[in-house]
């Protein structure tokens, strides 16, 4: 086994026992990037010199006995999460040369933990997309089949972890942007409860939906990263102040006696091989002593339209700041202030971003606010209430992560409605502010990965991780790695 193939916990043990150094581990990851990045295209920025310097500092911490679980571990960070003195582009021409003067809360947490930042991962522009094809810079490919997409919008983060170009990564999830790529790339992706992880320094897409989450090679690593990034932050008014557990401590709790619900509406439109993976997961849980039964989440019917109205409306507001005046791209073609605004935004944003800005502006406009945005908020209330009713009975809900396996590059690029429809299984979680985790569930008839999603009640991450760990330890999908 090569060092770049290791998990966080395997790496940490070798580092602690002085069987490998952080510099050696980081160099192994950098060599892997050099070997496969021209085919996978998972990074926008890679800074090898800074990564090795950080690794040397980590080795000094380890030698001094000051190491933590992430000290010396190479990581990728999605390129909409601010990193001081390292470009943060949001995969957009608009921010192509933007270098933040500060770290996001999670970036600082990882640095304080001694993690090694290898680079910034590619993504859909401003996190708007499900395939990492809307990036201004490049299209990321799926490591399991380079003709397929890795999912989005955190496709670069998921592909980097799946291709062993990072030991772990951070992504952001507004409507499934951590979980859907995790499904397509056969890795673990967690969308935490809204407010558990600070959004300070995350370039906002939809502020009431966005959450930062880990993308890792297994569930143990996912719990380890969550321990590092969760917690109250005074810089984020939506950050919740509460006592947090050690998320690694509940992994072996088992599922005997737990009640798991399977919402039938989430299976609507799912391909037969996806259904088969869900049925296999159900059988495993029953064999471990869990009670599994079907349940109704009828509000799912409202989730997609409500999500795309709410998220687009918030995007319209959040992206208004990119006007060519203070920072970011500025057009050279203008004779008036109005032309400066219009031409900068027309030239600086890609088509998908402009589509969502226009949709959101329309939904918020006079005469249409009540008909669209207000109704979407009312639907949001119904969706949250429906989940509350389900969690009065169940400890977790089990669903597919996506109705199909990864689709081909270009297959849905010109059909946004079809692209949006695939988010059926993920968007309701963000609307309700709940945690959800996706882990490898098997492979489809086309040989591509299929993810299993587990949804939990608010702030039930410890239970959710333990439930996921039980499935992982009794299946072998996570042991199958891509061949590049």
Whole-angstrom Cα distance, residue 326 to residue 407? 39
Q: Among 381, 363, 359, which residue's Cα sits nearest to residue 373?
A: 363
Whole-angstrom Cα distance, residue 153 to residue 172? 8
Residue 342 has a CB neighbour count (10 Å cut-off) of 15
Whole-angstrom Cα distance, residue 152 to residue 172? 10
Phi and psi, residue 122, nearest 5°: -65, 160
Whole-angstrom Cα distance, residue 364 to residue 143? 40
In the residue annotation, 375 being an active-site residue is answered as: no
| Cα dihedral 84, 87, 91, 92 in deg (nearest 10) | 110
CA distances from 308 to 204, 223, 277, 304 (A): 15, 30, 28, 6
14's enclosing H/E stretch is helix 8-16
- Out of 41, 78, 120, 183, the active site residue is 78
- Out of 21, 92, 153, 172, the active site residue is 153
Strand intervals (E) in 313-435: 396-400
Q: Among 236, 231, 261, which residue's Cα sits nearest to residue 247?
A: 231
Whole-angstrom Cα distance, residue 312 to residue 360? 4
In the residue annotation, 92 being an active-site residue is answered as: no
DSSP β-bridge partners for residue 398: 454
3-state helix, strand, coil in the chain (%, to 5): 45, 15, 40
- Out of 11, 135, 172, 177, the active site residue is 177
Phi and psi, residue 259, nearest 5°: -105, 120
Contacts of 197 (CB under 8 A, 6+ apart): 105, 106, 211, 212, 213, 226, 229, 230, 231
Bond into 153 cis (ω within 30) = yes
Alpha helix segments (H runs only) across 187-271:
219-229
Contacts of 11 (CB under 8 A, 6+ apart): 3, 20, 25, 72, 73, 167
What angle separates helix 48-63 from helix 22-40, to the nearest 10 degrees?
150
Contacts of 65 (CB under 8 A, 6+ apart): none
In the residue annotation, 177 being an active-site residue is answered as: yes
Active site residues: 78, 153, 177
């Amino acid at each position: 086994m090569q060092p770049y193939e290791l998990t966080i916990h395997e790496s940490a043990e070798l580092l602690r026992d002085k069987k490998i150094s952080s510099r050696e581990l980081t160099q192994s990851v950098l060599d892997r990037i050099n070997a496969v990045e021209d085919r996978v295209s998972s990074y926008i920025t890679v800074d090898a010199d800074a990564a090795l310097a950080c690794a040397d500092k980590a080795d000094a911490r380890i030698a001094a006995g000051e190491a933590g679980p992430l000290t010396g571990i190479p990581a990728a960070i999605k390129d909409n999460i601010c990193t001081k003195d390292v470009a943060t582009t949001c995969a957009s021409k608009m921010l192509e040369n933007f270098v933040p003067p500060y770290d996001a809360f999670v970036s600082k947490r990882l640095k304080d933990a001694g993690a090694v930042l290898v680079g910034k991962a590619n993504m859909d522009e401003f996190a708007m997309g499900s395939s990492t094809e809307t990036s201004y810079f490049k299209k990321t490919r799926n490591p399991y089949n380079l003709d397929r997409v890795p999912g989005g919008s955190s496709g670069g983060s998921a592909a980097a972890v799946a291709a062993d170009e990072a030991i772990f990564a951070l992504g952001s999830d507004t409507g499934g942007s951590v979980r859907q790529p995790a499904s397509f790339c056969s890795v673990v992706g967690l969308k935490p409860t809204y407010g558990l992880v600070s959004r300070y320094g995350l370039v906002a897409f939809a502020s009431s939906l966005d959450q930062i989450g880990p993308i890792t090679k297994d569930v143990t690593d996912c719990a380890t990263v969550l321990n590092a990034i969760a917690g109250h932050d005074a810089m984020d008014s939506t950050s919740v102040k509460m006592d947090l557990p050690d998320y690694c401590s509940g992994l072996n709790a088992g599922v005997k006696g737990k009640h798991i619900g399977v919402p039938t509406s989430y299976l609507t439109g799912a391909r037969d091989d996806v259904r088969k993976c869900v049925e296999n997961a159900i059988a495993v849980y029953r064999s471990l002593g869990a009670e599994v039964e079907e349940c109704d989440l009828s509000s799912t019917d409202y989730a997609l339209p409500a999500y795309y109205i709410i998220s687009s409306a918030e995007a319209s507001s959040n992206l208004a700041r990119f006007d060519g005046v203070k920072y970011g791209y500025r057009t050279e073609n203008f004779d008036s202030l109005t032309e400066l605004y219009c031409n900068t935004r027309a030239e600086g944003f890609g088509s998908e971003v402009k589509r969502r800005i226009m949709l959101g502006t329309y939904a918020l406009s006079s005469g249409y606010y009540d008909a669209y945005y207000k109704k979407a908020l009312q639907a949001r209330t119904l969706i949250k209430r429906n989940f509350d009713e389900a969690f009065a009975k169940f400890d977790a809900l089990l669903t597919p992560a996506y109705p199909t396996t990864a689709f081909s590059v270009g297959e849905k690029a010109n059909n946004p409605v079809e692209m949006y429809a695939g988010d059926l299984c993920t968007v309701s979680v963000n609307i309700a502010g709940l945690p959800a985790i996706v882990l490898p569930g098997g492979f489809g008839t086309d040989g591509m990965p299929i993810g299993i999603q587990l949804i939990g009640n608010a702030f039930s991450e410890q239970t959710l991780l333990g439930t996921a760990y039980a499935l992982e330890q009794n299946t072998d999908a996570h042991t199958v790695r891509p061949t590049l």
